[in-house]
Amino acid sequence: MCKMKILVLNCGSSSLKYQLFDMKGEEVLAKGLVERIGISGSRVKHTKGESSTVHEPDIQDHAQAIKIVLELLTGPDTGVIGDLSEITAVGHRVVHGGEKNTKSVLISQDVVKGIEECIPLAPLHNPANLMGIRAMQEILPGVPNVAAFDTAFHQTMPQEAYIYGVPFEYYEKDKVRRYSFHGTSHQFVSSRAAEILGKSIESIKIITCHLGNGSSLAAVDRGKSVDSSLGMGTSCGILMGTRCGDVDASVLLHLLEQGNSPSELSDILHKKSGLLGISGVSSDLRDVETAAAKGDKRAKLACDILYRSIKKYIAAYAAVMGGVDAIVFTAGIGENSDVTRKAATEGLEFMGVKIDDAKNDGLRGKEAVISADDSKVTVLVIPTNEELVIARDTQRLAK
Ligand code: ADP
């Protein structure tokens, strides 16, 4: 009965992360990352035990990516299960659950409908999540699917954090409000930070910086999210790979008045902005940092805007909470870019933040404290583990 094997799928805008868990001992049997889906240079890194293999098929969409992942999980050399019937349940990271979905749920027709209804709020992610759900329902009929929503952890935000300065009736009638995202990640790294510090989460104030293609910061006050930088949709807050971050509403009105349709406007804000839109080089920070180091001025500007936007949110959230005990960097950029971590915290010495270069430089993808011993605020790098949180929820709900 305890032989539960759970596949967790995390479909990002251009990536797919997967992990197959044996829930007995929460052991990861295999995991992997499909990168650059729909962009040239698609790549799958599949890891079984200690050994990894890299595959470079041309991958057009998420459905194709999932088929390749399932072949790898059952393949003669790369496989960890005899056949697909060994998978007892599938957990899906779903970005937008609106106000209806405040917790993880077993997926039904109704849940799928709810996720569809939220597509206008998360146009890059909910369709990718739905592709994952539909592909699994088709390939493994009868196997339960669970949705874990990115919005759930932030449901503790007070009204002053989630109500916008527009007439209140839009909230009452249409639920126009801040939801914010990456909840499983903020929840996981904040509780892990408390463990590392040896303190109860109920006693400390943490700012979590989830920096990936999509990014958000959260103010986690004694275990509860009290503010977070994404909003009703996924385009606000700090600068992202292709998303604009905070812009004045007048810019949007100007673009509409210039004749852009709402869907063209959505395309501009979600797909053509951010690092890509400013640098003209790429949405991938590695490419932009490389171009900036070679003297590309717009690439450097894009990086500087990114670093500054992170710093502004860190200071704002410290103010909101009346102090901060720990700052956590996580996700692709947070875990890997020492340059970003350094630049985003430089100048925050006035509020007790001091990075130790010897600890930060070159640190990639590993849990570590990177602040100086005499820093009042502890700064940490904690690889996120959204998949484990989702696997636990899936096990609980699929029993
Ligand atoms: P997603 O939001 O799609 O899940 P990830 O969390 O995988 O994104 O983060 C992707 C981002 O992380 C990309 O911008 C990528 O350039 C960045 N990244 C990954 N490794 C590095 C690195 N070594 N240096 C700088 N940026 C990195």
**Which class would CATH give 198-386?**
alpha beta
> Which of 239, 285, 288, when mutated, tests ligand 1's pocket best, judged by the most ligand atoms within 8 Å of its CB?
285
Domain 5-149 belongs to what topology? Nucleotidyltransferase; domain 5 (3.30.420)
Helices vs. strands in the chain: H and E counts, helices first: 15, 14
The pLDDT of residue 308: 98
Q: What is the dihedral of CA 233, 235, 241, 244, to 10 degrees?
A: 170
- State pLDDT tens for residues 24-50: 999 999 999 999 998 889 999 999 999
Task: Categorize the per-residue pLDDT at 100 as very low, low, confident or very high, splitting at 50, 70 and 90.
Answer: confident
Q: Is 357 annotated in the active site?
A: no
- DSSP of 109-134, one letter per residue? HHHHHHHHHTGGGSTTTHHHHHHHHH
Question: Using one digit for the tens of pLDDT, what is the confidence trace for 238-284?
Answer: 999 999 999 999 999 999 999 999 999 999 999 999 999 999 999 99
pLDDT score, position 1 = 43
Which member of 22, 150, 325, 338 is catalytic?
150
With the C-alpha atoms ordered 259, 261, 264, 266, is the resulting torsion angle positive or negative?
A: positive
pLDDT number for residue 175: 85
Say whether pTM exceeds 0.75.
yes
For 351-369, write each residue's pLDDT tens digit. 999 999 999 999 999 999 9
Structural domain spans, the chain: 5-149, 198-386
Atom 19, ligand 1: residue with shortest CA distance? 332
Same CATH topology for 5-149 and 198-386? Answer: yes
